[in-house]
Amino acid sequence: MKKVHVFNAGPCLLPQVAIDNAIEALKDFKGTGVSVLSISHRTKEWDEVMNECRALWKELLNIPDTHEVVFLGGGASLQFLYVAMNYLEKKAAYLDTGVWAHKALKEAQGIGEAYAIACSKDKNYTYIPKGFEIPTDIDYLHITTNNTIYGTEIKEDIDCPVPLIADMSSDIMSRPVDVSKYDLIYGGAQKNVGPAGVIFAIIRKDSLGRVSRYIPTMLDYRTHIDKLSMFNTPPVFSIFVMNETLKWLKSIGGVEAIHKINMEKADLLYNEIDRNSLFVGTAEKEDRSCMNVCFVMAPGYEDLQDEFFAFAKERGMIGIKGHRSVGGFRASIYNACTIEDVQALVDCMKEFENLKK
Ligand SMILES: *Cc1c(COP(=O)(O)O)cnc(C)c1O
């Protein structure tokens, strides 16, 4: 196979061992002679995968007994609706830090009263708003910890006087998280922990049942906690691959270990962006994401953008085109991306500078 370095924003790069084990299971699931695509989700063998996957989530993130984790379909975008359905009674506040945060807010506004407590749109979402006061009369504060499109990240678990809800689609399992600080953490698997087709939701059990509306069965988190994510047919294959991805993460030392590597990767790339005269980063330095690194050509060198794309492509760089709302480049350096991948991109940037200067 051609040697490439994959920096796709999502679906993301997955560890090779997870892919190899998935290929095996497509042919023969756990020695049953049946493909994982055809296995009944009501078998002992499937139960083992579900239980292992749930246990790995709890172990890797240190999820306390107060919380349960569920796996559902529908994407993170449907979770925006779940959040409002299950938690919005009178009023909710959203930190508007990007396209996804804004979409989450908009979905809540279709259900009840929700507003942006602070917003960084004035500077094209290149920073995380700070210093805003959180009122105590709201049902919850919703944050998006990593803004996949703009490359900004809230890297610490904030202290919040009201229930805290976080979309962690693109930085889950990239760093340790104090789960006890959140009533709900959710996200799509396809940015860091698995393939598309499954979401995770880590729910404080006693935070549910506080709204007065009727919640449709499928949209009620309690349904899925009660039935251990098996109320209806779960996204079997996606969960299988997610489980393999988490087994890999555990094998290399878990979240603490990957966090160190992730910081090393981010430093390596940001240092090159800051050093290299042809490129500049787009996000405020203190808010830079460890997962999605956004940069553009430096002033005066804008004309070289297409040439750099071609140059990088020739050297095996895949998926470094920035989102259309930022332009330039975005390298997503999720868990499965290695130091070697990042070094290859850095070398490529250096080489290009030498060629042009
Ligand atoms: C990708 C992404 C989403 C949307 O995920 P889907 O599963 O495609 O609906 C939501 N939030 C964040 C932070 C994302 O990166």
Residue 76 Cβ contacting ligand 1 at under 6 Å: yes
Atom of ligand 1 nearest to the CA of 75: 7
Residue 8 Cβ contacting ligand 1 at under 6 Å: no
If you measure from the C-alpha of residue 315 to the centroid of ligand 1, how many angstroms do you get, rounded to a whole number? 29
Give yes or no for a contact between 163 and 32, defined as CB atoms under 8 angstroms apart.
Answer: no
Predicted model pTM: 0.98
Q: 2 falls in which pLDDT band (50, 70, 90)? A: confident
Give yes or no for a contact between 91 and 113, defined as CB atoms under 8 angstroms apart.
Answer: yes
Give the Cα separation of 247 and 302 in Å (integer).
43
pLDDT of residue 107: 98
Q: 357 falls in which pLDDT band (50, 70, 90)? A: confident
Q: 198 falls in which pLDDT band (50, 70, 90)? A: very high
Mutate to test the pocket of ligand 1, among 12, 71, 72, 77 (most ligand atoms within 8 A of CB): 77
In b/e form, how buried is each residue of 127-165, taking b as 16+ CB within 10 angstroms?
bbbeeeebeeebbbbbbbbbbbbbbbbbbebeebebbbb
The protein residue whose alpha carbon is closest to atom 5 in ligand 1 is 76
Q: What is the mean pLDDT of residues 101-108?
A: 98
If you measure from the C-alpha of residue 127 to the centroid of ligand 1, how many angstroms do you get, rounded to a whole number? 19
Residues identified as active-site: 100, 167, 191
Atom of ligand 1 nearest to the CA of 147: 13
Residue 144 Cβ contacting ligand 1 at under 6 Å: yes
If you measure from the C-alpha of residue 28 to the centroid of ligand 1, how many angstroms do you get, rounded to a whole number? 32
Residue 81 Cβ contacting ligand 1 at under 6 Å: no
Q: What is the mean pLDDT of residues 150-163?
A: 97
If you measure from the C-alpha of residue 77 to the centroid of ligand 1, how many angstroms do you get, rounded to a whole number? 6
Spatial CA neighbour of 254 closest among 52, 58, 30:
58
pLDDT single digits (tens) 281-301: 999 999 999 999 999 999 999
Spatial CA neighbour of 223 closest among 78, 68, 55:
68
The protein residue whose alpha carbon is closest to atom 12 in ligand 1 is 169
If you measure from the C-alpha of residue 189 to the centroid of ligand 1, how many angstroms do you get, rounded to a whole number? 9
The CA-based diameter of the chain, rounded to the nearest angstrom, is 65
pLDDT single digits (tens) 253-291: 999 999 999 999 999 999 999 999 999 999 999 999 999
Give yes or no for a contact between 303 and 356, defined as CB atoms under 8 angstroms apart.
Answer: no
